[in-house]
Amino acid sequence: MSRLPRLAVRNVGRNRRRTLITGAAIFVCVTLVIVLKGFITGAQDLMLADVVEGRTGALQIHQKGYVDNIEAVPTRMNLPYTPALIAKIKAVPGVKGVTGRLQFNGLVSNGRAQTMFIGKAIDVATEKEACPRADAVLKPGGQPLVPLERAALVGFELANSFQLAPGGTVNLLVSSPEGRQNSLDVKVKALTSSSFPFENKRVLTVPLKTAQELLGLDGRVTEYAVAIDDLNRIDETRAALAAALGPEFEVHTWAELQTFVRDIINRQSLVMGMISLVLFVIALTVIANTMLMSVFERVREIGTLLAVGVKRLQVLQLFIIEAAVLGLLGGVAGVIAGRLALLGMTLKGIEFEMPGTSTRALLVPHVTPGYIVGAVVVATLGAVLAASWPSFRASRLNPVDALRNG
């Protein structure tokens, strides 16, 4: 048995044409899977960064029942925005940043026409603690918000419908949680562009203090956005945060709040899995075919081995080891080629324009070490699986018939 691996390696190198055909099938399959996985992972990283670091935060805290009733009057379910509560949130292990926001809605008017809007009030001083990429994409000529000013960032399509430009003024009309009608004139600081078309048509962003004044909610917010140290431990941090805050609060992950993005990522992973499966089936078919041809070509050799006392199990093991060697070599070569291709792309990144905006994002394709190891293991085991039937056929040959017919 100890000599079988050496003999298997020798057999692999002896028939170079067959080895190249089989190895090439595995090589191409693994290379394509690595490159495709790198692209999909890079795209998913961009989506996660946009959502987690630019919009929702990793976690959000609301009053109990807020998410189920957000379509009604979100401002009725508000929370205190106090240093004590902020400190309590930050004290939870894994939390690295907190900010407060007010979500509201109402009517926006330019004096001649009006329409509904969705309002987002942010604490300009702490927004980047929870969302470090929270800078809105401003159209040329605009300026960012500063605290304590009566100003707004307006989605560019909403602004165009009202013929607004930076420096103009709009009137916001909203209902307080008690039902009182309040209005306030705010200056348009900039027009914004988002990858979410709805935000361009309906969303208007103001400083937190402005919204609190408008709604009569001084010192209150509707949500806390929370950044955490490790997204891989998000459920653990969520549980610790919920335990620390008590039953009157609810804590949700970004995936629960942004189900559309979560579903896109899940579908991409599913499509990637299906593509990988198809590629591996093609490669395994080639392996099974070439291994079966190998059995037919080596009938006399197999008969000789059986005639001199080599056991049928050892013949089976010999062919299995040959297939494993081919799978390992093809898998390693494919991984190296795939990694080199990704490395060449990663050095510069892949620049493209985000849908719905004029901004260009940099996609950096990459794969994890675990995925690379997994690709080699799957290639090796797949080769063994594909060769199992031809190997079994070889081990069941009658030595006399094999010598006579070979």
Helix (H) or strand (E) holding 14: helix 4-14
Domain of residue 144: give its range.
57-257
Dist CA 167 CA 194 (whole Å): 21
As for how many domains the chain has, the answer is 2
Give the β-pairing of 151-155 and 181-193: parallel
> Could you tell me if 349 and 222 lie in one domain?
no
Mean pLDDT of 122-129: 91
Q: Which residues pair with 160 in a beta bridge?
A: none
Instruction: Answer for the pair 80, 219: CB distance below 8 angstroms, yes or no.
Output: yes
pLDDT-derived band of residue 41, with 50, 70 and 90 as boundaries? confident
- Please determine, for residue 1, whether its predicted confidence score (pLDDT) is greater than 60: no
Determine the straight-line distance between the first and last CA of the chain, rounded to whole angstroms.
25
Query: What DSSP designation does 95 have?
Result: E
Dist CA 203 CA 201 (whole Å): 6
Q: Tell me what the pLDDT averaged over the chain comes to.
A: 83
Dist CA 211 CA 121 (whole Å): 6
Query: What DSSP designation does 232 have?
Result: G
Dist CA 187 CA 152 (whole Å): 6
* Range among 8-12, 96-100, 264-268, 273-277 rated most confident: 96-100
> Could you tell me if 247 and 120 lie in one domain?
yes
> Could you tell me if 61 and 171 lie in one domain?
yes
- Cβ neighbours of 336 (radius 10 Å): 15
Query: What DSSP designation does 204 have?
Result: E
Q: Which residues contact 71 (CB under 8 A, 6 or more apart)?
A: none
What is the separation of C-alpha 73 from the centre of its chain, rounded to a whole number of angstroms?
32
Mean pLDDT of 373-396: 82
- Please determine, for residue 315, whether its predicted confidence score (pLDDT) is greater than 80: no
> Could you tell me if 252 and 268 lie in one domain?
no
Whole-angstrom CA distances from 215 to 70, 162, 239, 367 are: 16, 24, 32, 48
> Could you tell me if 270 and 317 lie in one domain?
yes
> Could you tell me if 75 and 129 lie in one domain?
yes
Domain stop point among 212, 235, 257: 257
